[in-house]
Chains A and B, each alone.
Chain A
Amino acid sequence: MTDSPESYEAAVERLEEIIDRLDSGQSGLRETLDLCREGRELVKFCAAELDEVGEGLKELRLDDLAARLEVGSEQS
C-alpha cells in the first residue's frame, strides 16, 4: 500500500480485511508477505492517529478563537 488511508475508520476496515484474509489461510506466500507489510503500515497509521488524541484533552473557547482570528486579521 503506497497511499495513506483516508481515515482511521478506513484503515481499521482494511486491517480487518487483511486479518480475515490471513486467518483464512488461503493467501500464498507473496500475498501473505504483502498483506503483512500493508497491515504493519496500517497499524502504524492507526497508532499515530490514536497518539494524536492520546496526549490529554485540550479545551479551547470559541470566543477566544474568534478573538484571535480578529486580532490576526487586524495585524495582517
Chain B
Amino acid sequence: MEQPAQKQAGTGLPGPYAVGRYAGKLQEWMRERARVQLIGEVTGVGRSKVQAYFELRDGDGAIPCAIWLNDLEKAGLGDGALRDGAEVVISGGLDYYPGGGQASPNFCFRATHVRLAGEGDLIARLEALRKQLRSEGLFELQKQLHRPRLPKTIGVVTAETGAARRDLLAGLQRRGWGGSVIWGFAPVQDRHAAPAIGRAVQDLAARPEVEAIVVTRGGGSLADLWAFCDETLCRTVAMLRVPVVSAVGHERDKTLIDDVAAVACSTPTHAAEAAVPLDCVAARESLERCAVALRRAGEGAIGTRSRHLGALARGPARALQRERSKLNQKIREIRAASERGLAERAASQKRIGTVVLERARNRAVGADMEKRRAALHRAAVALRAHEPERTLERGYALVEGEAGEPVTSAEAAAAAGEVKLRFADGRVRAKINEAGEGDVERDR
C-alpha cells in the first residue's frame, strides 16, 4: 500500500486512505491467506440465487461461511444435507467482498468444498478435548467419590422411550433391588441434547436423597452419541458430588462422559450393577449365614465353656482322690520305712549296747582286777608281814612237833621231849630238859 503524502498531525497513524481502495487491498490480502479445512456445526443456513451461506460454529467460536451453489452441487451432499446442526468439514479460505456504491461489504470463509464430518473427524476433536480435560484432572474427581453399595434412591438420565430404560430396570430388579428411581428424562440424540442432559444431571444431583446417577442410552454412531462428548456436560458431570455411572452406546470409553464419570459401563444392565453394587438377593443369603454363624458362636462359646467348667468342677474331687491315694501310699511307705528304721535302729542299738556293755564290762572287770590285785597285793603284803618267816628273819624261832605242828607251850614242849626249832634259815632238833634246860641237837 502506498504511503500517503503527509501524516495528520497529532494522530501518528498513516492515512487517511481511500476506503474503497483499502477494501480492495484487504480483499487481496485475505485471499492470499492459506487455504484450510474447518470442522464445526452448521447454523443459520440461508441461500441466495448464487450461493448458500451459514455459520460454522463450535463451543469456542464461529465464522460466517459461504459456498457458491455450483460448488455445493459438486460436493454431492444431497438435498438438505447442509442444514442446521449438521457437523461438516469445509475447505476454502478467507474472502472479503469490498461492496460498492450501493452494496454492503461482507467478510466470509469462502468454502469451495463441503462434506459431512466423519467418525475420524469427530474422534480427532474428541481426542483433543479428552486431552484437555485429562490435563485439568477432571477424569479423577468422580472416581474419588464414595459409591454406596446399597443406595436407596438413584437418579437416571435417559430417553423416556427407549430400550435403555427397560434394560436398566430389568438389571435393577435382577439384583433384587426395590429402591426408588427418579427419572430425569432428556433427549439423548446428537449434540443438541447435551444441555438438557446436563440440566437433568444437575437437578438430580441437587436432590439429597439421590445417592448415584446413571446416564444411559443405547448404541449409535459417534455422531449420535455426540451429546455425551459435549465439553460443558462433561465438565458439569466431573464436578458433581454425586457419583455418575455412564452407560452410553455399547463401547466403554468411547464418549467423553465415560472418562469423567465415576464408572463407565457398556450397557444399561451393567450400569444397574454399578449403580447398585450390592446383589440384594445374595446379600440376604449372606446375612442369614452371618446370623447363623453368630448364633452358633454364642451357643458354642457357652456350651464349650460349660463342659469345660463341668470338667473343672469334677477336677478337684478327682484331684483330691488322687492326692489321697498318693498320701496313703506315702503313709504306707513311711510306715514301712519307719518299721525298717526302728528295726535297724534297734539292731543298731543292740549292737551298740552290746559293744558298750562289752566295753563297760571290760572296763569293770579291769577295774575289779586292779582292785583285787591291789587288795591281793595288800593282803600279800599283810600276809607276808604275818608270815613266820618274817618273824623268824627277825631272830625268832618256831617250835614244831615231830609232824611239824607248832608247839605253842612249854608244857607241850616238855611233853614232846624233843622238838624242832625252826629258824629262818632252817630247822634244828632240840631236846627238852625238864629243868628247862636241855640239849639241842641240830637236825640238818
Contacts and interface: CB of A to CB of B under 8 A. Distances in A.
Nearest to B172: A57
Interface in A23-74: 23, 29, 32-33, 35-36, 39-40, 43, 46-47, 49-50, 52-63, 65-66
B352 interface: no
B181 A57 contact: yes
B220 interface: no
B297 A57 contact: no
How many of chain B's residues touch chain A, expressed as a range?
35 or more
Interface in B69-86: none
A3 interface: no
B240 interface: no
Contacts of B278: 8
A62 B204 CA distance: 7
B291 to A, nearest CB: 5
A28 to B, nearest CB: 9
B163 interface: no
B181 A59 contact: yes
Nearest to A62: B184
A39 B294 contact: yes
A8 B149 contact: yes
Interface centre among B169, B207, B290, B305 (most CB of A within 10 A): B290
Given A39-B294, A43-B290, A65 B182 contact: yes
B254 interface: no
A43 B295 CA distance: 11
Given A60-B180, A60-B182, A32 B280 contact: no
B359 to A, nearest CB: 76
13 contacts: A8-B150, A15-B290, A33-B302, A35-B297, A36-B295, A50-B283, A50-B284, A53-B280, A57-B177, A58-B179, A58-B181, A62-B155, A62-B185
Interface of A: 7-9, 12, 15, 18-19, 22-23, 29, 32-33, 35-36, 39-40, 43, 46-47, 49-50, 52-63, 65-66
